[in-house]
Chain A
Amino acid sequence: MITDIDKQIETFQRQFALVANEMAKRIVGYQDIVEGVLISLLADGHVLLEGIPGLGKTKLVHTLSDVLHLKFARIQFTPDLMPADITGTNVVQETKQGEKHFEFQPGPLFSNIVLADEINRATPKTQSALLEAMQEKSVSIGTRTYQLDHPFFVLATQNPLEMEGTYPLPEAQLDRFFLKLKVAYPDMESLHQILDRTTQLGEPEVERVLTGEQLADMRKTALAVPIAKPIQEYAIRLTLATHPDSPYAEPLVRKYVRYGASPRGAQALVLGGKIRALLANRLHVSCEDIRQLTLPALRHRVLLNFEGEAEQINTDMLLEAVLANTPESLT
């Protein structure tokens, strides 16, 4: 007997596959990156894509905006970019009667999908202008607060911090990203496909396959997936294990970590786990879902101390140690 829930699940999986397939027309490889971006989109979160220039980060976001029936805006972050340039500002307007008044001119943040390209090239002052928008989905200008369109989805790209002319993102802003996905260099086969597609006339066309309403339905379906307490506890223990003063903390964590992941990290683990469960045609979240999401959900939420920074400790290494030493079940 097929229930409504079965239909919802089937719809969810089909629409997800539609978007992924459309994106695959332009984006070669990076299935895990695309899946991560879509998971963040369905979880109402934001994504930070990190990779060296030229790997197709911006192209991926452009493609996503082309696939969805949503309003898209791109902000190229530069060192001289000001907060008002992205939030908008009040300008003096003159009516036909000659009266002058302030009128709010919305910035590029007032879109559904915002591409914050090379976000770490702007100063922290400008970067912080995104804080309210990313969390509250609103922008405050002067004495007024403007609600952003729904859904609001920030896709930020950044170069590795070792490169010149980059500013590290504030911890508060980093925590607002649902996932941080590292874009790796494509392999030989993917490079062949990239060259084949981009060195010929014309570019593969993509269709808009998902509307905002459908996206909202998919979110509701994902949120309805039940999770057992032992699995949720596993996610919590993983999160707590990133804190140096936690009883679950690893020796490496105690040595190199200053602050561990915030509760947003545990939220990301559980929400992402639910979406992954649906994609795997499961009605429950498994520990494997949590494990698969641990690195992208927690790697940007773990702040190293001075010793960790000096020894250039990779947070992925710390999280792998946490995963290896955190048992799935305490029974």
Chain B
Amino acid sequence: MKYCYEAFMIKNPLSVTDGERVVQTLSHVESRCRRNSLTREWLTGFTLSLVVPIVLSAWYKLSPVPWVAVVTVLSLWFATLVAYASWMFLRRKSLSSIAVAVDEKAALDGELTTAYWFYRKGFSSAWIDLQRGRAARSAEMLDLTQLFPYSVPKSSRLTVALLALCFILNLIPLSWTRGWLQADPLVSDVVAQNLVNLDEARQILSQAEFIDGLEAVQLSEDFREQLIQRQLSVHDEVEFREMRLTEENWSLDSDLMEALMKGMAESLDGIGSDALVEALQRKDFEMAARELRDLAQELDFTEAELESLKQTLNELAEMSSDELEALAEELTEAAGQLSEGNDAAMQHAFEQLAEDLEQMIREQQRDELREAAAQRLDQLEQAAQSGQGSNDEQQLASGEPSTEDQMTATPQEGDTTGSQTGAPMETGGPGVPTDEQGQGDLSAPGAGDIIEYGSPTSLEVELLPEILEVQPQPSDQSDDRLVDQPSQASHSKLQYEEIGSMISYQDSEMLDADSIPWLYRDLVKQYFQAVGPR
């Protein structure tokens, strides 16, 4: 800030020194440069930063984010912008760098730089003063408005465009925009409202007579817990509602039959048909149908029993889903006949109810048979496609029983061969479940029997590393070792020097072609041909 002080001290233009005139000019240039620089750099930074709210707006258009996130991001963006602007405002260039810039722009060859440096350092001599005077005159002759004009950068157009886009995206309600000010109620609010409704539903459920009170409370608690869990992850109200419907369907579909049968059993408990109650509790529809027919034959109910039975049948009809629509209709009709007191019609209604139960049993058994047949057909096709013959050959060669043997043999408890060989088709036969069958074989014939599942088979095997001790053998020296051997050796083991001495003078003379007698040359030639490489 020294130059500011220096510029402030220049009051009387007539008494200023050459150095002060130079500083005055440089200060003027610095203010112009700073204004241009602030405008240009701040606009650039602001333009770049506008990408943040625009991206956030686009994101919010596609997938709404919590308002806390929006506020956080916008606050950070604004704080960064303010910090950047403050840093820009506080940043100042030194007058030395300004002098360099002026020298470059005005082609002064460092005259102002040198003069300002001499002035700042306080150097003085005849030559330096003369140089400073020349620099001051040069500085006064500069046309600063032409050298450093005020200008608005062209990027300001982009800034205005981005600003308009951001404004439109967020503040103007259009069909393709989704402003922050028009945000829909957040999912958390929806869930809170639904929790209130859920409490009311829980109370209604607890008041239902055909369902055990504790069970209803458990159901509502499960429902509530599922809602709370979904509240943490579900962001869209529509998605939340769809999930809620799915959960309701899931609860009703799985529990409806059991609740229905249990409710009927409890309601009929006071009527006196113990066999019917027991059959309904065991979900033995066949027995229940027979008991209903017997009940229809008797029809000696008191008024209170009739009223109770009527109410129960109506509630059961309301509880029935679309899939049990026929049963619901029969229940409604039976209740109506009870209210009318027509014995024949009441008997007919009970008959229809019993027939419906039998029809349900037949349909259930037919579906199970069809599914079991389909599974068996699939298994046969897979066995045919996987090359049964080759499998048999392998098993014969290894001494293992063939697939047919396995199919005819009675599977032993804990035997895992069937699942490993891939042919357990018959192992899950009627009433003979194995440990590996699990729930999958419930569809097989006879699956309605009570199945007692054993503990899963575990194979306690500990794998131990086997350490092989390899003894180095001469034959184990591979070619690689032989190849690597010379490079690893420090010195050659071949005594090249002795090769020459192994050949005596006579031998070398004999090998000389000129010294071989003419008559023996053929003999020598034949000898070398015989011992030479073929």
Q: A residues engaging B (CB < 8 A)? A: 3-6, 224-231, 280, 282-289, 328-329, 331
Are the C-beta atoms of A228 and B109 separated by less than 8 Å? no
Give which listed residue, B111, B118, B125, contacts A282 with CB less than 8 A. Answer: B111
Chain A, Cβ-Cβ closest to B132: A283
User: B94 touching A284 by the CB < 8 A rule?
Assistant: no
**Contact assessment for B97 and A284 in the assembled complex, using a CB-CB cutoff below 8 Å:** no
Q: Is the interface of A mostly helix, strand, loop or mixed?
A: loop
Near A by CB (< 8 A), chain B positions 76-135 give 94, 96-97, 100, 109-111, 113-115, 117-118, 121, 123, 125-128, 130-131, 134
CA distance A226 to B118 in the complex (A): 10
**Given known contacts A229-B121, A285-B110, A329-B113, what 12 new A-B pairs fall within 8 Å (CB)?**
A3-B126, A3-B130, A6-B130, A226-B127, A228-B110, A230-B113, A231-B113, A280-B109, A284-B109, A286-B110, A288-B110, A331-B97
* Interface pair A226/B131, CB less than 8 Å apart: yes
**A-B CB pair tally, cutoff 8 Å:** 62
Q: A225 — which chain B residues lie within 8 A by C-beta?
A: 127
Interface residues of B in 215-253 (CB under 8 A from A): none
Q: Tell me which residues across on chain A come within 8 A of B131, comparing CB atoms.
A: 226, 283-284
CB-nearest residue of chain B relative to A329?
B100
Residues of B contacting A328 in the complex (Cβ-Cβ under 8 angstroms): 100
Question: 6 nearest interchain CB pairs?
Answer: A283-B131, A286-B109, A286-B110, A284-B114, A228-B114, A228-B117
Select the residue from A229, A230, A285, A328 with max chain B CB neighbours within 10 A: A230
The residue in A224, A288, A329 that gathers the most chain B C-beta atoms within 10 A of its C-beta is: A329
B185 CB to nearest A CB, Å: 59
Residues in B neighbouring A285, C-beta threshold 8 A: 110, 114
Pick from A4, A284, A329: contact of B96, CB under 8 Å: A329
* Other-chain residue from A226, A229, A282 in contact with B128 (beta carbon distance below 8 A): A226
Contacts of B134 in A (CB 8 A): 283
Chain B residue at smallest Cβ distance from A234: B110
The CA of A228 and the CA of B120, in the complex, are separated in Å by 11
> Whole-angstrom distance between the alpha carbons of A225 and B128 in the complex?
8
Complex alpha-carbon distance, A331 and B118, angstroms: 16
A331–B3 Cα gap in the complex (Å)? 15
Contact A284 B111, beta carbon cutoff 8 Å: yes
A-B contact pairs, 5 of them (CB 8 A): A5-B130, A226-B127, A283-B127, A283-B131, A284-B111
Asked whether, in the complex, the Cβ of A231 is within 8 Å of the Cβ of B110, the reply is: yes
- Contact A230–B96 (Cβ < 8 Å): yes
Chain B residues with CB under 8 Å of A228's CB are 110, 113-114, 117-118
Please name all residues of chain B whose beta carbon is closer than 8 Å to the beta carbon of A5 when the two chains form the complex.
Answer: 126-127, 130
Q: Which of chain B's residues have a CB closer than 8 A to the CB of A287?
A: 110
A5 to B128, CA, bound (A): 11
In the assembled complex, the Cα of A280 lies from the Cα of B110 at a distance in Å of: 13
Q: How far is the CB of A330 from chain B (nearest CB, A)?
A: 10
> CA separation between A329 and B117, bound complex, in Å?
12
Q: Are B114 and A226 in contact (CB under 8 A)?
A: yes
A-contact 0/1 string along B270-288, CB 8 Å cutoff: 0000000000000000000
How far is B128's CA from A280's CA once the two chains are assembled, in angstroms? 17
Taking a contact as CB atoms under 8 Å apart, the answer to whether A283 and B117 are in contact is no
Q: With A228-B117, A282-B109 given, is the CB distance from A329 to B130 under 8 Å?
A: no
Q: How far is the CB of A224 from chain B (nearest CB, A)?
A: 6
Can you name the residue of chain A whose Cβ is closest to the Cβ of B111? Answer: A284
Closest B residue to A287 by beta carbon equals B110
With CB as the reference atom, state the residue of chain B lying closest to A9: B130
Query: In the assembled complex, how far is the CB of residue B92 from the closest CB belonging to chain A, in whole angstroms?
Result: 12
- Give Cα A328–Cα B111 distance, bound, in whole angstroms: 14
- Give A284 to B99 CA distance when docked, in angstroms: 14
> What is the CA–CA distance of A6 and B133 in the complex, to the nearest angstrom?
12
Closest residue to A288 on the B side, CB-wise? B109
Instruction: Report how far A5 CA is from B114 CA in the complex, Å.
Output: 18
Q: For B109, list chain A residues within 8 Å (CB).
A: 280, 282, 284, 286, 288-289
B528 → A minimal CB distance (Å): 53
B34 CB → nearest A CB, Å: 16
